[in-house]
Amino acid sequence: MKSFSVKELLTTTPLLQEVVINGWVKTFRSNRFIALNDGSTLNNIQCVVDFEKFDENLLKQIATGAAIKVKGTLVESQGKGQNVEIQVDDITIHGSADPETYPIQPKKHSLEFLREKAHLRVRTNTFAAVMRVRSALSFAIHQYFQQNGFYYFHAPIITGSDAEGAGEMFRVTTLDEKNPPLTEAGDVDHKEDFFGKETNLTVSGQLEAEAYAMALGKVYTFGPTFRAENSNTSRHLAEFWMIEPEMAFYDLDANMDLAEDFIKKVIQYILDNCKEDLQFLEKRLLDEEKTKPQAERSEMALLEKLKFVVENNFKRVTYTEAIDILRNSKPNKKKKFKYPINEWGADLQSEHERFLVEKHFKCPVILFDYPAKIKAFYMRLNEDGKTVRAMDILFPGIGEIVGGSQREERLDVLKEKMAALGIDEEELWWYLDLRKFGTAVHSGFGLGFERLVLFATGMGNIRDVIPFPRTPQNAEF
Amino acid sequence: MKSFSVKELLTTTPLLQEVVINGWVKTFRSNRFIALNDGSTLNNIQCVVDFEKFDENLLKQIATGAAIKVKGTLVESQGKGQNVEIQVDDITIHGSADPETYPIQPKKHSLEFLREKAHLRVRTNTFAAVMRVRSALSFAIHQYFQQNGFYYFHAPIITGSDAEGAGEMFRVTTLDEKNPPLTEAGDVDHKEDFFGKETNLTVSGQLEAEAYAMALGKVYTFGPTFRAENSNTSRHLAEFWMIEPEMAFYDLDANMDLAEDFIKKVIQYILDNCKEDLQFLEKRLLDEEKTKPQAERSEMALLEKLKFVVENNFKRVTYTEAIDILRNSKPNKKKKFKYPINEWGADLQSEHERFLVEKHFKCPVILFDYPAKIKAFYMRLNEDGKTVRAMDILFPGIGEIVGGSQREERLDVLKEKMAALGIDEEELWWYLDLRKFGTAVHSGFGLGFERLVLFATGMGNIRDVIPFPRTPQNAEF
């Protein structure tokens, strides 16, 4: 007898077939109706039990969380809420779940409570839906790039270079921490360390991806990156996944076109493939927001918001235009910004980005041509000598979701910028080589995957869209 | 005028079109024929230059490695070796490559030499082909699992647990290495470390994947894993990528069926999608092996070997049967094994695995039901009380490519095994929870991605199938 997944039973299995199904009990009503789920889909299959045929001790073990195997016949359902159900002939208990101690009982749990139970929280509808959407988004990303002529490139995780300066790094070592070997000068001697030098966890695969783009043309990374920053916010993780495409012969315009098309296509993919999960998450968000004052509620429901992104052009605005808008904005004049905008050159804070996206333009915004001084050394200097070909994509409710740039391909300009910032040429000899030999216009961007999942699922805390979050003081599981 | 990739020009672009193409010069013959490549495919497009029309200084810059932009007309080729070529109207130099200093000249370079130039080696045909196949294999893996109802699960990279014991670990820390905070007992005080405890880089995502399988049914990881082992061999990396599917309600037989089908399908994918690269790599291997004595050469050419794997059943053999075969084998009797096989219970060494796969069965072999004593604590104990439901897949030339098992789902048996091995229950409280609440038969395996790429590409050293290898004393780039 063939074993089916719940998803198959609900969608593709002919009626009146004898079926076997394994899953976990969601609920057991009236000693008669088992709602069974195996994770393959949000929906449960109803299993109808004639309790007089079964041993009482067996029925007692059918409680929320128990794993069971059911044999029976798939029939049209008489009840409301489902098209098909199983008339049960036989039940085997794989493993019970004591209602007194099993924490995931069928009632509302706070997200904070569930964070402490990260190994079990994925058994709730909310987290299962989030993680299925996360998986679908991951695949959509690979599919998009592969169909568009990109090659997947695995950037190194352990790096001997700390030149990018994107953030604080974690040290990776095998030295005896209590009695490390010392140099004559009394410093810890990393020549004796595993890699013969000091090594850290990567903050970005971009520089290495550039090396690969300058040979394979178009590449992308999709891997973990790290920040050792003591940021306890709902938008920061110490370990997160990042997607970094890098393209030879792309200027900033082509880069912006790609980023916008990419985001639209991967969101379209989940609209096409995760409808039930997204509908569930939309309802969850509506319920959550009912407890909030009107002003804090979302203007659009989740699906409407996702469709809006897919169907509308992102607004492209230079930094200089954005500063003008902000300088003349109501909150700036009324001194409502914590960081007032007075002069060109100011770094934009989250409050400014939110104003632009949520109040002024009311759509995703691509800001570009930022002042060189507030951006990284590798971004291409414009002819004005003071701005660089950088772009950030800002999303409602999320803030920066993409940061990218056209890269400085001119050896002399790059060297000048590195010298001005005190970045050692020796350390980045290989990165400079890319400008010595066959250099060309090229561009790329980075997208924080968890921020995309946050946006796509309507969840409010980044800790709730990654299976086992790593944050300051927390590396459980 | 539309810009094309070389791949598009060679396969889908109509003749007599005006085209623009960017790429790097592979060779420039007779001041007339530029072989141009942009990484999109192994093959070059021939660009035919009427040198009298072009400035001499421009022509001088067209040397191997230079990045150029070509405008011209796509026409049927008059010469041999290609169907189409470009009649060039205009050339722009993006960036030159001085033949005196550019290391990737059109001649044979040793793989060792190229390893020192890992940022440039992907500009050679060999490494570009390997990396394109690597990318295609990665995608095939995602596609296989997604099409078969698995969800992609991102296992944590930084882990607070060191219980699995799969190997030596790298410590991850932000403590001041020279003056770390100490406890009263004089030990380094990890309460003051970033995560408030000692943390390491993961050696496997399996235990966490089990938690997800026990909710979503079927999941897989595909991420970096780490071993801080001082192994300087052609098969070991300190940082490598691993695929770990984990399935609820799968016993060992279903696990073996999945692993075999999975490997066959992803190899079929590259046979279908990477033909030119594989043909090139086949030829490379044949050339390389010409320098070797006959006995060390491969019995099959690369494509034949890949097809053999796809078309033939893997041989399934119990450990006990394998020991019988080995005990009675010629090399054992003639004392040719470094580790002679005398008794049941011996751990199999590489020489034994190679004998079974390459000499005895001459096909991929799945060994299963190993002695409990030589396998990990989480593997399910058989009724005999001395073997566990483990399986390893052994490949010719590679050795172990997959290691998996049915997991011990019985709480009492698992606790006994942990106690016997001194594994702290407190540390794995959450893993035990999976057996307390809704436990069920489940299985999974791990596949070392670089070993699969080694096999698929016919390369001989694992350092040559990952972009920037990390090995003892080496974390360059």
Following DSSP, what letter does each residue of A374-418 receive, concatenated? GS-TTBPBPTTSSEEEEEEEEETTTEEEEEEEEB---HHHHHHHH
**B274 neighbors B132 (Cβ within 8 angstroms):** yes
Q: Which of A5, A7, A26, A135 to substitute to test the interface with B, most B CBs within 10 Å?
A: A135
pLDDT at B351 over 70: yes
Closest CA to A23 of B221, B442, B408: B442
Same domain as A149, residue A38: no
Reference A187, options A171, A200, A198; nearest CA is A198
Predicted local distance difference test score (pLDDT) of residue B81: 80
- Among the candidates B70, B104, B138, a domain finishes at B104
B281 with B252, same domain? yes
Residue A450: closest C-alpha in chain B: B154
In chain A, residues with a C-beta closer than 8 Å to the C-beta of B160 are 475-477
Q: What is the pTM of this model?
A: 0.97
Inspect the interface and report whether the beta carbons of A199 and B475 lie closer than 8 Å.
yes
Closest Cα in chain A, distance from residue B458 (Å): 19
End-to-end CA separation in angstroms for chain B: 38
pLDDT digits (tens, 9 = 90+) for B245-263: 999 999 999 999 999 999 9
Would you call A135 and B151 a contact, using CB atoms and an 8 Å cutoff?
Answer: yes
**What is the pLDDT confidence band of residue B165, given thresholds at 50, 70 and 90?**
low
Find the angle CA(A152)-CA(A249)-CA(A435) to the nearest 5 degrees.
Answer: 90
Task: Find, in chain B, the residue whose alpha carbon is nearest to that of A231.
Answer: B194
Q: Do A131 and B139 touch (CB under 8 A)?
A: no
pLDDT tens profile B87-130: 999 999 999 999 999 999 988 899 999 999 999 999 999 999 99
Nearest to B173 among A22, A119, A170 (CB): A170
Average pLDDT (A393-416) is 95
CB contact under 8 A, B146 and A139: yes
Per the CB < 8 Å rule, is A160 touching B223? no
B399 and B451 belong to one structural domain: yes
- Give the closest of B187, B430, B433 to A178, CB-based: B187
The answer to whether the CB atoms of B211 and A66 lie below 8 A apart is no
CB B380 within 8 Å of CB B405? yes
Q: Given this model, what pLDDT does residue A161 score?
A: 79
* Residue found by looking up tokens 């098209």 in the block: A83
Cβ distance of A153 and B161 shorter than 8 Å: no
* Residues spanned by the domain of A230: 123-167+203-464
Distance between A25 CA and the closest CA of chain B, angstroms? 9
Chain A residues closer than 8 Å to B24 by CB = 215, 438
> From residue B384, how far is each of B231, B320, B368, B381, B414 by CA, in Å?
36, 13, 14, 8, 16
Q: Does A244 score more than 90 pLDDT?
A: yes
Q: What is the pLDDT of residue A79?
A: 81
Choose one of A104, A133, A148: the last residue of a domain.
Answer: A104
Same domain, B98 and B238: no
* Subunit contact A161:B248, Cβ cutoff 8 A: no
The answer as to whether B182 is a domain residue is no
The mean pLDDT of chain A is 95
Contact B458, B302 (CB under 8 A): yes
A178 lies in some domain: no
Asked if A329 and A291 sit in the same domain, the reply is: yes
| Chain-chain contact of A157 with B241 (C-beta, under 8 angstroms) | no
For residues A281 and A374, membership in a common domain is answered with yes
Number of domains in chain A: 2
Q: Measured between CA atoms, how close is A348 to chain B, in angstroms? A: 28
Q: CB atoms < 10 A from the CB of B108, how many? A: 8
Indicate the pLDDT class of residue A164, thresholds 50, 70 and 90: low
Q: What's the one-letter identity of residue B382?
A: N
Tell me which residue has tokens 């067209």. Answer: B62
Residue A217 lies inside a defined structural domain of this protein: yes
Contact A158 B3 (CB under 8 A): no
What pLDDT band is residue B162 in, cutting at 50, 70 and 90?
low
Looking at this predicted complex, what is its ipTM?
0.97
> Nearest to residue B54, comparing CAs of B76, B74, B28?
B28
The order of strands in the sheet holding B239-248 is: B151-152, B218-226, B239-248, B442-448, B399-406, B387-395, B365-371, B315-318
Q: Are residues A235 and A93 in the same domain?
A: no
Compute the distance between CA of residue B123 and CA of residue B104 in angstroms, rounded to an integer.
8
- Whether the per-residue pLDDT at B442 is higher than 90: the answer is yes
Determine, yes or no, domain membership for B178: no
Of B73, B104, B135, which marks where a domain is finished? B104
| CATH classification at residue B314 | 3.30.930.10
Residue B371 scores a pLDDT above 70? yes
Q: Is residue A475's pLDDT more than 70? A: yes
Residue A181 placed within a domain = no
Is there a domain that residue A440 lies in?
yes
Q: For A464-476, what is the mean pLDDT? A: 97
The C-alpha torsion from A132 through A137 and A138 to A142, rounded to 10°, is: 140
What part of A 238-257 touches B (C-beta under 8 Å)?
238-239, 241, 248-249
Cβ pair B154:A430 closer than 8 A: no
Q: Which residue from B436, B438, B468 is facing A156, i.e. has the nearest CB?
A: B468
Q: Is B125 on the interface with A (CB under 8 A)?
A: no
- Residue B256 shares a structural domain with residue B142: yes
Instruction: Indicate whether B406 and B444 sit together in one domain.
Output: yes
Residue B185 lies in a domain: no
Q: Are residues A347 and A452 in the same domain?
A: yes
- The answer on A140 and A42 residing in a single domain is no
What average pLDDT does this structure show over A432-452?
98
Question: Is the same domain home to A275 and A363?
Answer: yes
Q: Quote the pLDDT of residue A166.
A: 64
**What CATH number is attached to the domain comprising B88?**
2.40.50.140
User: What are the start-end ranges of the H helices in A148-251?
Assistant: 206-216
DSSP characters over B63-101? -TT-EEEEEEEEEE-SSTT-SEEEEEEEEEEEE---TTT
Report percent pLDDT > 90 for chain B.
91
Per-residue pLDDT at B17 exceeds 70: yes
Amino acid at B468: F
**CB distance A267 to A305 below 8 Å:** no
**A300 has a chain B CB within 8 A of its CB:** no
Q: What is the pLDDT of residue A296?
A: 83
**Residue B211 placed within a domain:** yes
